[in-house]
Chains A and B, each alone.
Chain A
């Protein structure tokens, strides 16, 4: 077999595998990818999407030389199939089931004290993880997350006269910064176009309906589990103001708005997002070599 093009192939260091586990009383076959060695950085994708959103992080040697990066597809998402019987039920993700699958996946892989980074619905979920299980987590980084995010749970994506494959993808694309690289914004759109019917809607049931941590921010112990919250200034679903409210209510939480970026920072503009992420990782796990190339975690944001 001969290539018809100039040879320039590269095999990435990212490895994908499946793990079979039981969560919330059901058998699940979960797909995950990982790369790197070191303390675990566990990555949680957005509603209606999958772990491909973290491919830049998984391929960044500045990260993988210091961290074991693990990203998995929730059941019903990406390469993780839905559990048996899915065809007879309405998919609605609950807080309890979401917390359980993250913990069950971590336990099945033997991940200890992971730093959990989640975006969108997962950016809010990490707050609940920190509230319930602070002692088991090395820290949380919530992107586009808040104590309560309104308005994302919509029924129209299940209407037979709407092509959700296109409409959900465009609906969510609206949340990105227009100056983010076009190829990245199109990739976010593409991943969304591949979600199963009703899955984006079911995920946003958790994000906009089931989870409401308003008035409970003080229950999060940031001494036991450091909390960082970052939200792009173009995000009109979970706005920077929503995230500021969360930071104000959680004693010791850090973060703030990110300039020039939208709702999907790690996917829509990874180079820019990295400038916000590295200082946080340096605080959570200081570099051993003494090399300090990044500013403090609060620099570049409006809130310390």
Chain B
């Protein structure tokens, strides 16, 4: 994984461009995501939001208006986003499913079927995001 030096430290719309680059160079994501095609709406209570399309092993940030009806919605406070990508999380806050249950700062909504259907790739995306966090 080789994020650019311009990858911002705070999680924001721009931060996801660094994540997309990490996905592009990740061997596992390239293998497991070959036949995937799904959308995530990522939103912060701080006001930023970004649509993410994962398709053919690539993560592509897009306009919110591009989100299809069937998508996964992850909403969090800024503290919640840091919990999601925390490389050293505390117990019961260590994983997206755990956070959805236990953190008041993180909400996972939208299509549950899309979430479960693409859980393997989503888990890898979050691991890559955690690694990205470590580097800053």
Contacts and interface: CB of A to CB of B under 8 A. Distances in A.
Contacts of A203: none
Interface stretch (A8-16, A136-144, A163-171, A205-213): A163-171
A177 interface: yes
B79 interface: no
A162 B91 contact: no
A166 B92 contact: no
Contacts of B101: 236
Contacts of B97: 171, 174, 236
A173 interface: yes
Given A166-B32, A174-B98, 8 more contacts: A161-B117, A167-B116, A170-B120, A177-B94, A178-B95, A234-B92, A236-B98, A236-B101
Contacts, number: 48
A204 interface: no
Contact of B117 (A162, A233, A236): A162
A156 B95 contact: no
A170 B89 contact: no
Contact of A169 (B89, B96, B112, B120): B120
B113 A234 contact: no
B92 A162 contact: no
Interface in B94-113: 94-98, 101-102, 112-113
Contact of B89 (A156, A161, A167, A178): A178
B91 A234 contact: yes
Contact of B119 (A159, A161, A166, A178): A166
A239 B92 contact: yes
Contacts of A162: 113, 116-117
Interface in B63-108: 89, 91-92, 94-98, 101-102
Contacts of B112: 156
Interface string A172-200: 01100110000000000000000000000
B62 interface: no
Contacts of A171: 97, 116, 119
Lowest 7 A-B CB distances belong to which pairs? A233-B91, A170-B119, A236-B98, A174-B97, A174-B95, A166-B120, A170-B120
A169 B91 CA distance: 20
Contacts of A174: 95-98, 123
Interface residues of B, number: 18
Q: Which of B96, B101, B116 has most A Cβ within 10 Å?
A: B116
Interface string B34-64: 0000000000000000000000000000000
A268 to B, nearest CB: 13
A234 B94 contact: yes
Given A174-B98, A234-B91, A156 B123 contact: no
A233 B117 CA distance: 27
A170 B92 contact: no
Contacts of A170: 119-120, 123
B133 to A, nearest CB: 13
A170 to B, nearest CB: 4
Nearest to B32: A166
Contacts of B89: 178
27 contacts: A156-B113, A159-B113, A161-B117, A162-B113, A162-B116, A162-B117, A163-B117, A166-B32, A166-B119, A167-B117, A167-B119, A167-B120, A169-B120, A170-B119, A170-B120, A171-B116, A171-B119, A173-B123, A174-B96, A174-B98, A174-B123, A177-B94, A178-B94, A233-B91, A234-B98, A236-B92, A236-B98
Contacts of B116: 156, 162, 167, 171
A257 B67 CA distance: 43
Nearest to B99: A236
Contacts of B120: 166-167, 169-170
